[in-house]
Every structure is written in C-alpha cells, then in structure tokens.
C-alpha cells in the first residue's frame, strides 16, 4: 500500500516528466513542478534532497520504464520483429500527434540539454537507452540473429526512432515516424529472414 509520501513523490516525478516533455529540462523550474503536482512546497527537497537534478533522474527513470513496457507489449502483441517495431512506433506516433506535437522523448531532451553538464543525468539517460536497446536486441536474437548483429540492429532501431520523434515534432507531422516504421520493418525483416534462411 502506497503511503501519502509515496504518492506525492510519484506525482512530483510525473509532473517533472510531463514538464520536461513540453518545456525542456532547462525550462522547467521547481516551482512549476510543485504547482503542476499540487504538492506542498517543502515536498521537493524532502523527497529529492538534491533538488532539480534528483527530480530529473526520477523523470528519466520513469520514462525509461514506460518505454520499456511499450516495447515489451509491442513484442508480445505483434509477435514478429517487424510487427513489433511497427506497433511500438504507432504507439509513439499517437502520443506525439495527439499532444499536438508537444510531447516527445524526455530522455533525448535531457541528453541534449544536460549531457555535457551533469554526469549523473547523462548516465541516467544512457541507462534509459540501454533499457530499450537490450530487450530489443534480445528479441531480435530470439528471432535468429547472432548476438552482435542483434545488438547492432537494436541500437539502430532505437536511434532511428529517437530521431524520427524529433523530426516529427519539428515538422508537426507524424510522417517521419511512419517512414521510420516502413524502413526499419523492411530492414529487420531482411536481416531476420536472412538469418532464418542461413539456419
């Protein structure tokens, strides 16, 4: 059973995540997070003694878990590597489009803004990306690719999706994500098909 304090801490992390997505990390102040979360003024430093950086870490970790869940659900529902990629990108495309192109990937935002300034935030972002690359690589490996090739392709998949989200937001169009889905699905089909034929 979550305590009142646990719920407040979770609300603060959720608010930080949402505000990073819309305003960026640098544009998100603690007072805005407190107001957005409807939290007591002293709650930030009580739950996050290191202030904004600690809240940023919590937001990145929350985003990592959510996208990791999205990947797992896409793999489970679609069954095939190409189908899973299409399902994951479709889910992301809906998030980006339905938000009026205000929401994107908070991990990429924090990486770009703070990667050179905060080693803790850079490491958290690296861990987040790894949490998406590793299960994707494992899924590809289970579909016939050698470990090294699966890791390489999984990295390309995640990097391409991240870039497509950014371009979609800039162009205010989900077409870049749709294009990424088509190209990645074809690439994955080709690689996994070749691996299957070689077995």
HEC string of the chain equals: CCCHHHHHHHHHHHHHHHHHHHHCCCCCCHHHHHHHHCCCCCHHHHHCCCHHHHHHHHHHHHHHHHHHHHHHHHHHHHCCHHHHHHHHHHHHHHHHHHCCCCCCCHHHHHHHHHCCCCHHHHHHHHHHHHHHHHHHHHHHHHCCCCHHHHHHHHHHHHHHHHHHHHHHHHHCCCHHHHHHHHHHHHHHHHHHHHHHHHC
The reported pTM is 0.89
What pLDDT digit, counting tens, does each position of 91-138 carry?
A: 999 999 999 999 889 999 999 999 899 999 999 999 999 999 999 999
Domain count, the chain: 1
The pLDDT tens digits for 126-178 are 999 999 999 999 999 999 999 999 999 999 999 999 999 999 999 999 999 99
CATH of the domain at 98: 1.10.357.10
- Domain membership of residue 90 as a residue range: 4-198
């Amino acid at each position: 059973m979550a305590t009142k304090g646990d719920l407040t801490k979770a609300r603060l992390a959720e608010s930080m995540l949402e505000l990073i997505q819309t305003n960026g990390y640098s544009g998100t102040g603690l007072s805005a997070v407190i107001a957005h979360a409807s939290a007591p003024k002293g709650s930030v430093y009580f739950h996050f003694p290191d202030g904004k950086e600690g809240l940023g870490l919590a937001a990145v970790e929350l985003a990592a878990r959510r996208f990791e869940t999205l990947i797992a659900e896409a793999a489970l529902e679609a069954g095939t590597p190409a189908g899973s990629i299409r399902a994951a990108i479709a889910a992301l495309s809906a998030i980006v489009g339905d938000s009026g192109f205000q929401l994107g990937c908070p991990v990429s935002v924090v990486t770009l803004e703070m990667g050179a300034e905060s080693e803790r935030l850079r490491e958290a972002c690296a861990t987040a990306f790894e949490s998406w690359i590793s299960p994707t690589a494992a899924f590809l490996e289970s579909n016939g690719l050698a470990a090294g090739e699966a890791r390489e392709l999984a990295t390309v998949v995640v990097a391409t999706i991240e870039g497509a989200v950014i371009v979609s937001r800039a162009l205010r169009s989900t077409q870049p994500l749709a294009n990424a889905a088509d190209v990645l699905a074809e690439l994955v089909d080709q690689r996994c098909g070749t691996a299957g034929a070689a077995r």
